[in-house]
Amino acid sequence: MTSIYIIAEAGVNHNGDLDTAIALIDAAVAAGADAVKFQTFKADKLVTGKAGKAAYQRETTDAGESQLAMLRKLELKYEFHVRLRDYCAEHGIEFLSTTFDFDSLAFLTGEIGVRQLKVPSGEITNGPFLLAHAATGKELVLSTGMATLGEVETALGVLAFGFLGWERPSLARFRQAYGCDAGQAALREKVTLLHCTSEYPTPLEHVQLRAMDTLAQAFGLRVGYSDHTEGLAVPIAAAARGAVLIEKHFTLDRGLQGPDHRVSLEPAELTQMVAAIRSVELALGGAGKIPQPIELQNRDVVRKSLVAAADIAIGEPFSVENLAAKRPGTGLSPMEYWRMLGQTSPRAYQVDDLIS
């Protein structure tokens, strides 16, 4: 069984500080995560000066500042990325980052050399940006928050088109790429879909974990889960439902100022989540209903056999009055009860003797 890939989402919880970012890596390593993920962007290329904040951002940051002003303070400098990538390599954890603009995408795939890319939910309708991701040839994790199945399919069409290296992009050509065997093969090889609900925090009644099944059935791709709920329960449940990848925000201190700290796990909680997911992996096991070797030693102890419910003489017929089922299960199975009724006993039995 392939291990569930766990991404510790540092995001912008470094608040623009390199030392905090390094401390976040240390926490992710200590927790046992497979990767730690940041966000790479230039605020001026991500939002306009007139873009407002989401409600949760107004609640957790200065309500009077613009989204642009907030994001400028949360940028992770390009030069910091090199140090963080190397620090991750030294400590045995994969460095990942989500990018939001073309220059940052080129930087991540060029100078930083990431193995895979995460496309955030907000970019799922950004066709040119999706195409640029596919053109890198990297493995892609596509988050589907706020998206309909139709929008997911359209996005996958763009990615298939890009993977195939086709020319003359158009919506019609994207549909053609999605529908062809080569396009489907490329998607299966390169893409993992993430179910998520893009609200911070996500109320439990809006999580819809069963949508993971819907995505898997609709597109035949690997499916994981990106969590924005509070606490540990939902990502652990996603593991039990078959998520191949789980992403969860974490922070050094939920009390810090910033848009995502409030819905993030603290280091001890992240450690608990990773341990619980690994336990779920062990418990999932295989799909076959096969008696486990460890339980066979108990089978004869707790199952029952046919026994004499009364003394039985030689030649006496077996009947409902003189047959019973009791432990241990080392004799004739009670499933043979009806076959035995009316047959004559070949020997004498005392009460509780096993029928043979």
Q: What is the tens place of the pLDDT at every residue in 118-164?
A: 999 999 999 999 999 999 999 999 999 999 999 999 999 999 999 99
Whether the Cβ atoms of residue 344 and residue 317 lie closer than 8 Å to each other: yes
Q: Are 5 and 245 in contact (CB under 8 A)?
A: yes
User: How many helices (DSSP H) and strands (DSSP E) are in the chain?
Assistant: 15, 10
pLDDT surpasses 60 at 1: no
Domain encompassing residue 323: 293-354
Check pLDDT > 80 for residue 8.
Answer: yes
DSSP bridge pairs for 11: 38
Q: Do 300 and 213 sit in the same domain of this protein?
A: no
Q: How many whole angstroms separate alpha carbon 197 and alpha carbon 235?
A: 13
d(CA 246, CA 243): 7
Indicate which CATH number applies to the domain containing 247. 3.20.20.70
Same domain, yes or no, for 187 and 299?
no
Reply yes or no on whether the pLDDT at 322 is more than 90: yes
Query: Is residue 264 packed enough to be buried (19+ CB in 10 Å), middle (13-18) or exposed (0-12)?
Result: buried
Say which residue the tokens 């709920």 belong to.
Answer: 229
- Please report the pLDDT score of residue 59 as a whole number: 64
With residue 142 as reference, give the H or E element that holds it.
strand 139-143
pLDDT of 266-317, one tens digit each? Answer: 999 999 999 999 999 999 998 899 999 999 999 999 999 999 999 999 999 9
Q: What is the mean pLDDT of the chain?
A: 93
Residue 42 confidence (pLDDT) above 70: yes
Domain count along the chain: 2
Report the pLDDT value the prediction gives residue 238, as an integer from 0 to 100: 98
Out of 36-45, 93-102, 216-225, 232-241, least confident range: 36-45
Q: Are 306 and 323 in contact (CB under 8 A)?
A: yes
pLDDT above 80 (res 47): no
Per-residue pLDDT, 63: 64
pLDDT at 253 over 60: yes
Count the alpha carbons within 13 Å of 92 in the hemisphere toward its beta carbon. 5
* pTM for this prediction: 0.87
d(CA 356, CA 353): 9
Same domain, 266 and 147: yes
CB 115 within 8 A of CB 140: no
Same domain, 192 and 332: no
Last residue of a domain, one of 284, 319, 341: 284
Q: What is the mean pLDDT of residues 36-50?
A: 82
> Which pair of tokens denotes residue 213?
């099944």
Grouping H, G, I as helix, E, B as strand and the rest as coil, residue 98 is strand
pLDDT for 51: 72
Final residue of a structural domain among 258, 284, 310: 284
Structure confidence at residue 261 (pLDDT): 83
The per-residue b/e assignment along 106-126, b for 16 or more CB within 10 angstroms, e otherwise, is: ebbbeebebeebbbbbebbeb
d(CA 264, CA 227): 10
| % of the chain at pLDDT higher than 90 | 83
Same domain, 92 and 150: yes
Given a cut of 70, is residue 331 above it in pLDDT?
yes
Residue 65 pLDDT grade (very low, low, confident, very high; cuts 50, 70, 90): low
Count Cβ atoms within 10 A of the Cβ of residue 161 and give its class: 0-12 exposed, 13-18 middle, 19 or more buried.
buried
Name the more confident of 73 and 293: 293
pLDDT of residue 260: 77
In this structure, are 175 and 323 located in the same domain?
no
Looking at residue 64, what is its pLDDT? 65
* Nearest residue to 227 (alpha-carbon basis) of 145, 130, 148, 282: 145
Report the distance separating Cα 296 and Cα 109, nearest Å: 53
